[in-house]
A and B are shown apart, each in its own frame.
Chain A
Amino acid sequence: MTEQTTDTPAAAPQYVEGERITGAQALIRSLEMEGVDTMFGYPGGCILPAYDPMLDSPIRHVLVRHEQGAGHMAEGYAHVTGRPGVAMVTSGPAATNLVTPLMDAFMDSIPMVAITGQVPTAAIGSDAFQECDTVGITRSCTKHNELVMTSQGLPMAIRQAFHIATTGRPGPTLVDVPKDVLVSEMEWYWPTDEEVLASLPGYRPNMKGHPRMIKEAAKLILDSERPVIYAGGGILKARAAEALARLVELTGIHVVTTLMARGAFPDDHELNLGMPGMHGNATAVTAMQRADLLVALGSRFDDRITGKVDAFAPQAKVIHVDIDPAEQGKVRKPDVPIVGDARLVIEEIIDEIKSLRAAGVTQADTRAWKSKVSGWQEQFPMTYQQSQPGAALKPQYCIEQLRDLAPDKTIVASGVGQHQMFASQYWHFNDPYTWVNSGGLGTMGFSIPAAIGAKAAMPDRTVWAIDGDGCFQMTAQELVTATLEGLPIKVALLNNSYLGMVRQWQEMFYDERYSSVFLDSAALPDFVMMAESMGCAAIRVESPEEVGPAIEKANSINDRPVVVEFRTEAAEGVFPMVPAGASNDDVILHPTQQDRKGGLA
């Protein structure tokens, strides 16, 4: 398992207090002081003054091709480092283009700081050129946002934005800076930690768990005969993967890792049941349904996990650990609510279990449960049928080959749809921070820019973007950014000519009436030509025996991005599947297993 701490940024530079500089210089200095080494952006009218001092700054600015790309790159950067990703764009249309990544980061609790230009203070409210109400528009898709009205206020606004983005439940913040605030002068200062805290009297995230609740949680864990740890993205945000591993070793409890928590606990560990939820594997879904205790750690009972809430895990007591008090009882009323940082709380629970054991308390017998769970695992593994000779490739096969040929600690970013589910199901995630995806918002087009952001943060790692033909066409222009900025990501494009997931729903729930899902992407565009035109190496793969060699070739190219287009089977469905709104008990297994479903009882 890799390091558990956030990579520490470079030492902050030294600047003289009281020096008269412009707001623009103060802005860039503030970013340096916050340890920013890379930012993603696109200049324009109102943010123009900030791009001048950038020329003298050690911060690397990655020039994107669309502002949405800047936002997703910042997210990808944050996903793999734990440090806030920074995106800077101008006012009006640039700010509105950031809305999707901001909402994406908000849903998935990604620390991110956005800086937007704004029209001069005197013009605000006058419908000036490229004016929009950025703080108004982004109010419900940021953890906090602020319009800065004076140059002198810039350092504090930036400090607050970073503090809020990275503490408590992480999330995106936005600082809106009018052009005249960038141009006019201020006296440089850097607020102290105390000043930042004093300026935010309403913001004090709770970190440590309540001792009485910790005690109850420990007792419940030792008492339960069918316990399951339901690990969510909060494990990764809290750098708690190592603590989780210790808790599992101590108690021998099974773990399910949600879509946002893939990699938080090694897939190769015998106690990892894999992903639960709508497309989770049969054992993970059923183990939660039959459990007598769910230990929810940094997970939020999303509808994609619970299915029909009233029918979800009906016999389970719930310990819910979350740093966000509003998650307690939002969906499922917990028996033991614990508000706090996942890592600290897990460590506290471990200590409590140890002292209970030292006092002679024994753990309930879980052997019958474990043999039941391993029975399910044997009977209902993830499965698919290999393609017939001459037929299109199976997407699962392509992902298995990618996985088996990937260098150690390869980072995988995905778009949204069938390819995302196949990637999560078939990759073996054994290290935290190797899976970058859009879970809550489900943003198509996420993978390419997110992969570029991850590559900018971790240039020595192999970064594969697993994408679909729908997603690819939403953000592919960022491959130009990747080529020109020297960020050689690799794209596995699973091209089935369809919006595969929507097609699957139309097949299953709309009597195979296919409406507006055929993209015809075997005909147009020519992805190989398209990729080559953006400076990438490109390979098209149509038969199974070409898959491995093409991947090996892609892995060997490191001087430019690579796009490998796999022509895949359109009729392939993602299984298992819990239909939207149905109970997890009504999970539909792979067609080859469905007739044996009684075995899950």
Chain B
Amino acid sequence: MSRVRDYGTNTYPQNGFNHHILSVLVQNRPGVLARVSGLFARRGYNIFSLAVAPAEQEGMSRITIVVDLDSAPLEQITKQLFKLIDVIKISELDPAQSVERELMIATVKANGALRVELQTLTQIFEGKILAVSEDNLTLSIEGHPDKLDDFEELLDSHGIVELQRTGRVALPKLDRSSRLRVAN
């Protein structure tokens, strides 16, 4: 592990790929996810991750898409997306200006002394132990995707049995003016 990071803040170095986050508010209707993913497939845009869940308004869902900007210009992607009738609103979230979170759960081999080491590691990363068996531990961790990457890398050296990540969700960072608006 060569990287040293401060996990207390939200500032992480970029991990190489040229990505952007789109938060897409859609009408929650049958086929809407197929419309969105079909558009990406048809136009050759790459999706890095995708998370979908009902939004705060009734009848609406929010789709958080991490797009690969090496596959197409962001402007084209958003304009083509916006042509879908079910798409209500698209927010472009610059990774530097947004709060990103992802959840990971993993089952790892944990025999003997390893078990204590994994426990410590999980504590350091502010993760949780969800289940224990004789040979394995199931852990969960929530946080910035880069933090999860690092944790995954460390777990890998111990032997991952199964691992699942959710795809990231994101909201814009509150700037000073919006903090004031909330306060008022």
The interface of chain A, by Cβ under 8 A from chain B, is: 135-136, 139-140, 143-144, 147, 164, 200-203, 324-326, 328-330
Contacts and interface: CB of A to CB of B under 8 A. Distances in A.
Contact of A164 (B73, B75, B76, B85): B85
B35 A139 contact: yes
A202 B85 contact: yes
Interface in B72-131: 73, 75-76, 79-80, 82-89
Given A139-B34, A139-B35, A144 B76 contact: no
Contact of B27 (A201, A324, A330): A201
Contacts of B83: 324, 326
List 9 A-B pairs, minimum CB-CB distance, nearest first.
Answer: A326-B79, A202-B88, A144-B85, A325-B79, A203-B85, A140-B42, A202-B87, A326-B80, A139-B38
B76 A135 contact: no
15 contacts: A135-B31, A143-B85, A147-B31, A164-B85, A201-B27, A202-B27, A202-B84, A202-B86, A202-B89, A203-B85, A326-B76, A326-B79, A326-B80, A329-B73, A329-B75
A203 B39 CA distance: 17
Q: Which of B30, B73, B83, B86 has the most CB of A within 10 A?
A: B83
Nearest to B41: A140
A200 B34 contact: no
Interface string B30-68: 110011001100100000000000000000000000000
A498 B5 CA distance: 69
Contacts of A147: 30-31
Contacts of A140: 38-39, 42
A330 B76 contact: yes
Interface residues of B, number: 22
Interface of B: 26-27, 30-31, 34-35, 38-39, 42, 73, 75-76, 79-80, 82-89
A328 to B, nearest CB: 8
Given A139-B34, A202-B87, 20 more contacts: A136-B34, A139-B31, A140-B39, A140-B42, A147-B31, A164-B85, A200-B85, A201-B27, A201-B88, A202-B84, A202-B86, A203-B85, A324-B83, A326-B76, A326-B80, A326-B83, A328-B79, A329-B73, A329-B75, A330-B76
A147 B31 CA distance: 10
Nearest to B90: A202
Contacts of B39: 140
A201 B85 CA distance: 8
Nearest to B89: A202
Contacts of A325: 79, 82
Contacts of B85: 143-144, 164, 200, 202-203
A147 B30 CA distance: 9
Contacts of B76: 326, 329-330
A558 to B, nearest CB: 44
A140 B31 CA distance: 12
A500 B109 CA distance: 68
Contacts of B31: 135-136, 139, 147
A324 B80 CA distance: 9
A178 to B, nearest CB: 13
A201 B87 CA distance: 9
